[in-house]
Amino acid sequence: MSDLDAFRAEARGWLEANAPAEIRGLEIDPETGGNWGGRRPRWDHPEMKTWLERAAARGFTAPTWPREHGGGGLAPDEAKVLAEEMRRLRLPPPLTGFGLSMIGPTLLRFGSEEQRRWHLPRICRGEIRWCQGYSEPDAGSDLASLQTRALRDGDCFVVTGTKVWTSYGDLSDWIFALVRTNPQAKKQAGITFLLIDMETPGVSVRPIRLISGKSPFCETRFEGVRVPVANVVGEIDGGWTVAKALLGHERSMIADLFGAGTSRRARKPGSALANLAREYRGGEHGTPLPQPLLRDEIARLEMDERALALTSQRARDAARAGHQPGAETSIFKVAATELNQRRTELAVRVAGAQGLGWEGAGYSEEDLVRTRQWLRARGNSIEGGTSEVQLDIIAKRVLGLPD
Amino acid sequence: MGDATSLVLGEDQELLAKTAADFVAERSPLSRVRALRDADDPLGFSPALWKAMAELGWVGIPFPEVYGGAGLGMAELAIVLEALGRALAPEPFLATVLLGGQAILRGGSEAQRSAWLPRVCAGEACLALASEERAGAGDLLCVATRAEAEGQGWRLEGEKAPVLDGPAAQAFVVAARTAGAPRDREGVSLFLVPADAAGLEVLRLRRVDGRGAAALRLRGVHVGAEALLGAPGAGRAILEPVLDLATAGLAAEMLGSAEEALARTLHYLKHRVQFGVPIGSFQALKHRAARLFIEVELCRSAVLAAVRALDAGAADATALVSLAKARASELAVHVADEAVQMHGGIGMTDEHEIGFFLKRARVAACTLGDAAAHRERWAGLHGY
């Protein structure tokens, strides 16, 4: 038995003994549900709390992070095995959120020893929920033009300004924010990466309503908020380097979230869109759909999804083989978000007039969710760097085209 | 060679890719393709180079060692085909190695294999598959050509077109109907017909890509009983997997051609100056180039997955082959169209090489099933 087989047996035994039976196969909305932790946690099921606590104690909320910081200390191929075993038992992730996906990896690379020691175990245990303070009303794609000011006052920075698109800002405990510490320097050179406890006086949060109705997005204001200088990640005025590295984590997270079918869809057998077409447009199971052009569109979409999923697999295989991330990784943000837009748009179109309900009687829950998902998906190619910004990055960094 | 499930190349495969790239760079510049075209070469490829590729072991890659092959799989052959695709190298891998050769390997008797496969692996014999007919509109298994029992053998009557690399073939694997009607699934048998058989006429087809192609007329061609390849009526069962291999191989070749067309276009964008700046600094062109790059990467994943699934005999191999060919067909044409547009006026001239990619892409896209046909097959395989 190889070491990896031994680990698989061990992981399987542990999961079977410790993952509560009630949460196996639990249906969880990929964007709003799941264990996000924090000071005010929400549970899709009471046993989700047990699941988080046990997984955290075993280091399985952050399997590849070092054990000393609360992670599992697993090698990439062991983490892959763990994920396979969790899928086999149809287990939801024990913990999700921006602590694990964005600020944690950033602190592992750029944080001080003290920051890592304080924050990482709290992230792993799901005690602190994080949000991201990057964009501002006047700094969208041109992020480096941000204006939120941080003035030095002894051991503190005094922060004043407004951040927008702070996802789940109203539910979060800490925010990692980009602030301007040197207005005289070139715009990228005067930025500092700062960790701010949102319970500090002067922080206020207001939800933003989107075209899809509700949204996780907020506007977060800072009015004279005092933040210890010890909360700077990296160098003062050197935050842009940290910010760009974190954006890489954000983009891969968005690509995973909206990429090749979310977990809920992927678990159902057969073609989800073809089944939907039969439901709304008729036709016998196992026979060609009666509308050949629609059939072609569905096939095209599902083939594109498969090609993207295979590309994700290729990137993971390359990482496991010890290769540096290759050019293929740069395509995920654009490809995954645009695919999600096509998928949700096609689903609404397949449903015809029944796909246009907003709320109330006459529409099923699925109809209404479908409408909101379509509208929400329009934002996928904007958030986390627009497709246009991503194409600029590919053209410059991968293809070497001139400025 | 390499981890069969991984979508990255193993060490031996990387070495093969490097060898192939070096060979192509040294021996197969695009000027060679132009010279063959300008000479109106009836074969459309270079027998000397074909022999050299056989000596490198490439022609024998997917054949057992007992016939002089390397006993390797599609993963390795795809690496070579991608490299050849970059150079638009016209040597007849598809017709000889994947269509004719694999049909004999998989459907033939020991006598038929021993007679042909060692010569194929040595680069001494070329084969071709004569299955497609005009009325089939791209469905290679729609066969009206008939085979009637005659004496101890068979008498073949019908027309075949296009037959890839027909002008070079010493023998054809001919699909002919021994029972049923043209669109029936069953009733097709395969026959090994020598190119010099009485009553067989090979008409050379000149197509836009300049490669070898032919139309066959079979007028009462008599073959002996030993010409039958496999059992009577086994044609479809033999050819379906063979066509999947060839389709995946063609997708790998097209991926290589698309990569090269994009690389040449990027080079042009960086060096062509208008309005005082390289035109590659214009965002309208940058974004289009970036989108082509995304398409290339997606296609690469599909091709890698398809050839690995074929080698592993995976249940979804057929679906992945359709994914690879549909992607490759759209990619190659899209990249070539964009390449000509971004090259501007010079891209329209015969003097410039980029037009060769456009012509080959269009022919390859409709060979062995176009993108729409493979989406159709995908939908059917997935129950809709």
CA B218 to chain centre: 24
- Which sign, positive or negative, has the C-alpha torsion B366, B372, B375, B380? negative
DSSP category for residue A371: H
pLDDT at B118: 98
Closest CA to A59 of A128, A124, A127, A104: A124
* CATH number assigned to the domain comprising residue A169: 2.40.110.10
**CB-hemisphere CA count at 13 Å for A104?**
27
User: Using CB atoms within 10 A of its CB, is residue B185 exposed (0-12), middle (13-18) or buried (19+)?
Assistant: exposed
Nearest-by-Cβ selection for B7 from A271, A314, A396: A314
Q: How many domains does chain A fold into? A: 3
Please give the average per-residue pLDDT across A255-279, as a whole number. Answer: 67
Identify the closest residue of chain A to B267 by CA–CA distance: A401
- Cα separation, B130 vs B202, whole angstroms: 11
Indicate whether A391 and A265 sit together in one domain: yes
Residues of A in contact with B327 (CB under 8 A): 303, 307
Nearest-neighbour CA in chain B from A127: distance (Å): 37
B145 near B176, Cβ under 8 Å? yes
**Overall fold of domain B128-231:** Butyryl-CoA Dehydrogenase, subunit A; domain 2 (2.40.110)
Query: What 3-state DSSP class applies to A72?
Result: coil
Q: Are residues A135 and A72 in the same domain?
A: no
- Indicate the residue of A271, A327, A328 with minimum beta-carbon distance to B384: A271
The DSSP annotation for B102-158 comes to HHHHHH--HHHHHHHHHHHHTT---EEEE---GGGTT-TT----EEEEETTEEEEEE
Model pLDDT, residue A256 = 72
Q: How confident is the model at residue A271 (pLDDT cuts 50, 70, 90)?
A: confident
With contact defined as beta carbons under 8 Å apart, do A258 and A209 qualify? no
Which residue carries 């099921």 as its tokens?
A45
Which among A306, A317, A399 has the least Cβ separation from residue B290?
A399
Distance CA A348, CA A276 (A): 10
- Per-residue model confidence (pLDDT) at position A322: 81
**What letter represents residue B220's amino acid?**
G
Whether residues A395 and B376 touch (CB distance < 8 A) is answered with: no
Q: B197 φ, ψ to 5°?
A: -60, 140
Residues A90 and A205 occupy one common structural domain = no
Residue contact A270–B382, C-beta within 8 A: yes
Q: In 3-state terms, what secondary structure has residue A50? A: helix
Residues of B in contact with A308 (CB under 8 A): 298
| Interchain CB distance below 8 Å, B289 and A401 | yes
The CB density around residue A156, as the number of other CB atoms within 10 Å, is 16
The interface predicted TM-score (ipTM) is 0.95
B contact test, residue of A280, A296, A311 with most B CBs within 10 A: A311
Tell me whether residues B6 and A395 touch, CB distance under 8 A: no
Cα–Cα dist B141/A389, whole Å: 48
Question: Residue A192's closest CA among A239, A247, A241?
Answer: A239
Instruction: Determine the residue of chain B that is closest to A305 in CA distance.
Output: B298
Q: Does residue A48 lie within any of the structural domains?
A: yes
* Structural domain ending residue among the three candidates A177, A201, A236: A236
Task: Using the predicted structure, report yes or no on whether residue B95 has a pLDDT greater than 90.
Answer: yes
Residues A335/A287, Cβ–Cβ less than 8 Å? no
Number of Cβ within 10 Å of residue B26's Cβ equals 8
Distance CA B248, CA B240 (A): 13
Q: Which residues contact A379 (CB under 8 A, 6 or more apart)?
A: A210
Q: Where are the domains of chain B?
A: 11-126, 128-231, 237-381
Single out the catalytic residue among A85, A136, A250, A305: A250
Residue A395 forms contact with B (CB below 8 Å): yes
Range A168-172 average pLDDT: 95
Amino acid letter for position B378: W
CA dihedral A208, A210, A213, A218 (to 10 degrees): -20
For residue B2, the model assigns a pLDDT of 47
Residues A266 and A390 in one domain: yes
pLDDT (tens digit per residue) in B111-123: 999 999 999 999 9
Q: Do A302 and A364 fall into the same domain?
A: yes
> Is residue A107 a part of any domain in this protein?
no
- For residues B368 and B243, the answer to whether their CB atoms sit within 8 Å is yes
Residue B31 amino acid letter: S
The string of pLDDT tens digits covering residues B42-84 is: 999 999 999 999 999 999 999 999 999 999 999 999 999 999 9
Q: Tell me whether residues B6 and A317 touch, CB distance under 8 A.
A: yes
Taken as a whole, chain A contains a residue count of: 403
Residues of chain B with Cβ-Cβ distance to A401 below 8 Å are: 266, 269-270, 280-281, 285-286, 289
- What is the rounded distance in angstroms from the CA atom of residue A58 to the CA atom of residue B369? 52
Asked if A401 and B300 come within 8 Å (Cβ–Cβ), the reply is: no
Q: Which amino acid is at B30?
A: L
Which has the closest alpha carbon to B339: B373, B375, B276, B296?
A: B296
pLDDT of residue B1 exceeding 70: no
What is the mean predicted confidence (pLDDT) over A300-305?
Answer: 96
Nearest to A388, CA basis, from B293, B281, B286: B286
Assess whether A62 and A190 both reside in one domain: no
Asked if residue A263 has pLDDT above 60, the reply is: no
Calculate the CA A366 to chain-centre distance. 23
Of A271 and B168, the structure prediction assigns the larger pLDDT to: B168
CATH superfamily of domain region B11-126: Acyl-CoA dehydrogenase/oxidase, N-terminal domain (1.10.540.10)
Q: A220 and A135 share a domain?
A: yes
Distance, CA of B365 to CA of B122 (rounded, Å): 30
Domain boundary among A73, A96, A119: A96
Contact B218/B156 with Cβ under 8 angstroms?
yes
Q: Do B380 and A288 touch (CB under 8 A)?
A: yes
Note down the domain range covering A43: 3-96
3-state secondary structure of A236: coil
Within a domain: residue A275?
yes
End-to-end Cα spacing for chain B: 37
What pLDDT is recorded for position A252? 73
Structure confidence at residue A41 (pLDDT): 95
Alpha helix ranges (H) inside chain B: 11-27, 30-38, 47-55, 74-86, 102-107, 110-121, 235-271, 283-312, 317-343, 354-365, 371-381
Provide Rg for chain A, Cα atoms. 22
pLDDT, position A262:
41
B252, B307 Cβ separation under 8 angstroms = yes
Residue type, A96: T
Query: What letter represents residue A343's amino acid?
Result: R
Band of residue A245 on the pLDDT scale cut at 50, 70, 90:
confident
A179 and A304 housed in the same domain: no
Q: Are B266 and A271 a contacting pair, CB within 8 Å?
A: no
What is the torsional sign of CA A312, B9, B287, A306? Answer: negative
Q: What are phi and psi of B154, to 5 degrees?
A: -135, 155
pLDDT(A81) > 50 = yes
Look over chain B and give the mean of its residue pLDDT values, rounded to a whole number.
Answer: 96
Q: Quick check: A267 pLDDT over 70? A: no
Asked whether residue A123 is assigned to any structural domain, the reply reads no
Report pLDDT for A384: 84
Does residue A116 lie in a domain region?
no
Question: What is the predicted pLDDT for the residue at A258?
Answer: 67
Q: What is the H or E stretch that residue A310 is in? A: helix A292-320
- The CATH number that applies at residue A45 is 1.10.540
From chain B, the residues in CB contact with A302 under 8 A are 378, 382
Same domain, A184 and A295: no
Whether residue A57 lies inside any domain: the answer is yes
Please give the structure tokens belonging to residue B148: 């009637």
Report the gap between the CA of A122 and the closest CA in chain B (Å). Answer: 36
Q: Assess whether A8 and A51 both reside in one domain.
A: yes
Q: Which helix (H) or strand (E) holds A56?
A: helix A47-58
Residue A121 domain flag: no
Average pLDDT over chain A, rounded to whole? 92
Average pLDDT over residues B166-194: 96
| CB–CB contact B286 A289 (8 Å) | no
Same domain, A281 and A383: yes
Just give the CATH number of B237-381.
Answer: 1.20.140.10
